[in-house]
Structure 1
Amino acid sequence: MKKVSLIVTLMALAGLVACKPSGSSGKTRVAVIPKGTTHIYWKSVEAGAKKAADELGIEMTFIGPQKEDDRSQQIDLVRNQALQNEAIVLAPLDATALRDASKEVADSGKPVVIIDSSLADSASFITSYVATDNVEGGRIAARRLSEVLGGKGKVAVLRYMQGSASTEDREKGFLEEIKKFPNIEVVSSEQFSGATASTAQDTATNILTRFAEGDALSIQGIFCSNQTNTFGMLQALRGKNVAGKVKFVGFDCDATFLDALKKGEMNGTILQDPVNMGYLSVKTAVAKLRNEAVKPLIDTGATLVTPENLSDEKVAALIKTQVP
């Protein structure tokens, strides 16, 4: 017995025995890697993840890239955190670029739960996809914009960023649904805002300049697909003194959007449930580690917020999770 123990010890020292990563307390460890850490949306995801970790008695690390377009840094984070944790929860910045690193983690036997934005060709190796039904979110936005337009008018769409599956799905859902209204014409859908509010505002300003007609616009409706480009478009509309003169539906939430809804500068925004997303993703990762049954797809819901329902109890409660 002593001889066997000595061999095992020597193998472990040589790195030949796979050791289960754990914290100093011996607790299960899960890393949550968002697209970024500065937006209130990701802070809400973190709050949900922490709630689940506390309930489960595990250690949770929340760490993301400094910029929401830094694919290389996120890839490095996936690989590094996989060495220190037993499971990874990931919101991929790019549906294709993050695939190989994620598959490496899964192939090593560790659960990979994808949140917020899908990963290309990953159904065979990820544990679960926990996210908003983004295509449906885009459809909801299209129906709302058609409603406030009275079913007719010209519309511009400001996209977010190539490779971002969540926003691409929203844009896809919007464009598919808006086709059902024959008297609505999409006259611009090729512009991308980029990852920062500054670039989003610049691109939005260029779109508004393109469709300027004196003090008005030749477009009657606008759709933006995430928090960054919705904010950039709102600032551009205000800068051009045309906020409220065009029907505008965005995505996600911050205090500025709520103010705009109250003022009539926005006609709607689609809210996700990031707290629930963070909570369910960590729960799912740990369930997999404990050999419990998990669902391959978990829809965390999408809610239309309008000036008319801002004070509704359920809407107000959801807003509180995303606006400090």
Structure 2
Amino acid sequence: MKSILNLLPLFVFLGLAGCGRQSEGGSATSEAKSYTIAVIPKGTTHEFWKSIHAGAVKAEQELNGKGIKTEIIWKGPLKEDDRDQQIQVVENFMSRRVSGLVLAPLDSQALVAPVENAIKAKVPVVIIDSDLKSDQYVSFVATDNYKGGQLAGERLGQLLGGKGNVILLRYAVGSASTEARESGFLDTLKTKFPSVKLISSDQYAGPTRETGYQASQNLLNRFGDQVNGIFCPCEPPTIAMAKALRDIGKAGGKVKMVGFDSGSQSVADLKNGDVQGLVVQNPILMGYLGVLTMVKNLQGGKVENRIDTGVVLATPENMEQPEIKELLYPPIAKYLKE
């Protein structure tokens, strides 16, 4: 993990600079060209997106430091269920003819037309975090979300000793990243832990901690006396469900819980024993490689169709290991001014 974090950016950048020079026949013309990259997240409030932003800024700083003039514009909807606003942001940047878009689509279908329209207008698009039902974009830079769901299923199944009643609190319809995690989780329980019983898997947390808390309360009101384990596939429901468990006296491992993402509250819950596992992504690397991949493409370099940014399981037992700790406490403040 440490080698990936420290060396991959260097390798990618060297490849980017080399491809840029080669595409211009060895001249310095490409380095003199300036790029304006719009980075569009699903939302702008959760800590995960702040880490994505930090990674984009890191790439911007390094590119400018190497003489490749690059400006990052960060703009997205406030809430992660505002499809119309995200579509409007994409369309506005297309009209402005920015050099390229780095987009985390909050709906895998609703953003297809805006993205393909941008591409037709010669504004290339790199997709990050969550996939899009299109084959027109430059590259997909993201976690292997299905694998992340598998890690969660394995952890919860082991915590339960292979038996018990489980709740899956889903996130949102159309969110490709969380849907893949949910599928990985369910498939793992089915194949590896057939004695685990799924007592609820059709409820959705929604885009905020508040909606997630309400959904969590509703589930616990119904299944609180039966449930032995819970999985939540992203930051807002993870934080919300842990709070709901505390409120009814079922936290601290009485009900085993596995969540996703390294929000500061989730990390605190992992440390204090209310959460027994967090599947953790590398959003700084995701934002960083999203921007570098776009610039490499703009310079005429060849880019991979799919770039996997990694996923690991953090537990109370391994959370102090350096490679895990770096993901649980991302250096957001180093790149973003509050």
TM-score of the superposition, structure 1-length normalised?
Answer: 0.88
Report the RMSD for the aligned CA atoms in angstroms: 1.4
Please, which of 259, 280, 289 is the counterpart of residue 289 of structure 2? 280
Please, which of 102, 105, 126 is the counterpart of residue 113 of structure 1? 126
Counting only pairs closer than 5 Å after superposition, residues 130-169 of structure 1 correspond to structure 2 as: 130-169=141-180
Please, which of 30, 43, 52 is the counterpart of residue 36 of structure 1? 43
Query: What is the CA–CA distance in structure 2 between the aligned matches of 1:313 and 1:277, rounded to whole Å?
Result: 19
Residues 94 and 121, structure 2, Cα contact 8 Å, conserved in 1: no
C-alpha change, 1:281 and 1:309, in structure 2 (3 Å) is same
- The answer to whether 1:241 aligns with 2:241 is no
1:117 match: secondary structure: coil
Aligned residue identity for 2:62:
E
Please, which of 93, 105, 118 is the counterpart of residue 81 of structure 1? 93
Deviations 1:143-200 (A, max 9, x none): 0001111111110000001111111111011011110211111110000011111111
- Which residue pairs with 2:139 in the alignment? 128
- The answer to whether 1:96 aligns with 2:128 is no
Aligned residue identity for 2:228:
Q
2:101 match: secondary structure: strand
- Which residue pairs with 2:240 in the alignment? 232
Please, which of 184, 192, 196 is the counterpart of residue 173 of structure 1? 184
| 250-259 or 292-301, larger mean C-alpha shift | 250-259
1:179 match: secondary structure: helix
2:110 match: secondary structure: coil
C-alpha change, 1:323 and 1:59, in structure 2 (3 Å) is closer
- The answer to whether 1:297 aligns with 2:309 is no
TM-score of the superposition, structure 2-length normalised?
Answer: 0.85
Query: What is the CA–CA distance in structure 2 between the aligned matches of 1:300 and 1:49, rounded to whole Å?
Result: 14
Deviations 1:11-68 (A, max 9, x none): xxxxxxxxxxxxxx97211100001111111111111111111222201101111221
1:118 match: secondary structure: coil
Aligned residue identity for 1:219:
V
Q: Report the alpha carbon displacement of residue 317 of structure 1 after superposing the two structures with TM.
A: 1.2
- The answer to whether 1:205 aligns with 2:217 is yes
Q: Could you tell me the percent identity over the aligned residues?
A: 46
Point out 4+ residue stretches in structure 1 off by more than 3 angstroms.
none
Deviations 1:65-93 (A, max 9, x none): 12211101100100111233110000001
Aligned residue identity for 1:164:
S
2:206 match: secondary structure: coil
Mark the runs of 5 or more structure 1 residues left unpaired by the alignment. Answer: 1-24
- Which residue pairs with 1:267 in the alignment? 276
Residues 262 and 327, structure 2, Cα contact 8 Å, conserved in 1: no
Query: What is the CA–CA distance in structure 1 between the aligned matches of 2:332 and 2:298, rounded to whole Å?
Result: 33
Mark the runs of 5 or more structure 2 residues left unpaired by the alignment. Answer: 1-31, 65-69, 334-338
Residues 258 and 278, structure 2, Cα contact 8 Å, conserved in 1: yes
Residues 101 and 124, structure 2, Cα contact 8 Å, conserved in 1: yes
Q: Report the alpha carbon displacement of residue 258 of structure 1 after superposing the two structures with TM.
A: 2.1
**Which structure shows the higher helix fraction?**
2
2:169 match: secondary structure: strand
| 30-39 or 79-88, larger mean C-alpha shift | 79-88
Query: What is the CA–CA distance in structure 2 between the aligned matches of 1:323 and 1:45, rounded to whole Å?
Result: 9
- Which residue pairs with 1:9 in the alignment? none
Deviations 1:288-310 (A, max 9, x none): 11110100000101110000001
Query: What is the CA–CA distance in structure 1 between the aligned matches of 2:256 and 2:61, rounded to whole Å?
Result: 43
C-alpha change, 1:155 and 1:323, in structure 2 (3 Å) is farther
Counting only pairs closer than 5 Å after superposition, residues 18-29 of structure 1 correspond to structure 2 as: 27-29=34-36
C-alpha change, 1:279 and 1:56, in structure 2 (3 Å) is same
Q: Report the alpha carbon displacement of residue 107 of structure 1 after superposing the two structures with TM.
A: 1.5
Query: What is the CA–CA distance in structure 1 between the aligned matches of 2:269 and 2:74, rounded to whole Å?
Result: 32
Query: What is the CA–CA distance in structure 2 between the aligned matches of 1:306 and 1:194, rounded to whole Å?
Result: 26
Query: What is the CA–CA distance in structure 2 between the aligned matches of 1:222 and 1:67, rounded to whole Å?
Result: 25
Q: Report the alpha carbon displacement of residue 323 of structure 1 after superposing the two structures with TM.
A: 7.5
